[in-house]
Amino acid sequence: IDSALHNNINFIANNLEIDYAKKMQKTNPNFDKTFIDFGFGQINGFQNDNRFGASQTFHFPTVYKKQASVNASAVQLAEANNLVDKEELIYRVKQQYYSLLVLNEQILLLESADSIYASFYKQSKSRVDAGLSDALELSTVENQLMQIRQQLSIVRETKKGLLAKFQRTIQTTLHYKPIGDSIIYKFNFSPSLVGNTVSPKLLVLQSEESLLKKSTALEKSLLAPSFSVGYSSMTVKGWQTLSLTE
């Protein structure tokens, strides 16, 4: 399980998404860009004049509060998605692990049955050769032996395919072969679910709904008027006419 959680690409991507959401949370408040205006040239005569201005637009404080709430909900959604994928990955590892243990037991039973019926076949053949039995007994034992060997071949191929799938799930170059004393799984609550009364998938749906509502509220708040604070300075050099009469 640790190998799967550490190496699984989807789980790694989920952790990166959580980190991104948390870093976006630190960008609040997100102010608009500062506007700077600068000019230089001849306005009133042959002397050069200059113009400088700077302004900053602000929204009402409620806008930045709603933006912070949206960012917090984005983190919650990312964590909820991560929890769902984590629990599904753990379930998949356990399911494949115990399925391999069951297949191991099936192979042992079929190999034992193969050995027993192979011995029966030899005895039946000897009895038929000695004239102590008819061909029907030999045919019945031979048919049972063929069925067991065919089933054994199918189970071995199934195990081979499942083992390859198990390796892809745990995402490691090491080749693991599940070994256990019992094929009975003792269910334990995942530590991440202890104390949590809400299903992880339901938690995702609730987080998505919360994020949608808060995003809508943010967009509506952006329609409210904003205000700007600025500074402006300009020079006009040279003689100027103050009236129409000299």
Radius of gyration of the chain (CA): 38
Are residues 204 and 81 in contact, defined by beta-carbon separation less than 8 angstroms?
A: yes
**Highest-confidence segment of 81-90, 164-173, 174-183, 234-243:** 81-90
pLDDT of residue 197: 59
Match 């102010």 to its residue by tokens.
31
Nearest to 117 by CA among 162, 166, 150, 89: 150
Mean pLDDT, the chain, integer: 82
pLDDT of residue 154: 94
* Rounded Cα distance, 137 and 81, in Å: 62
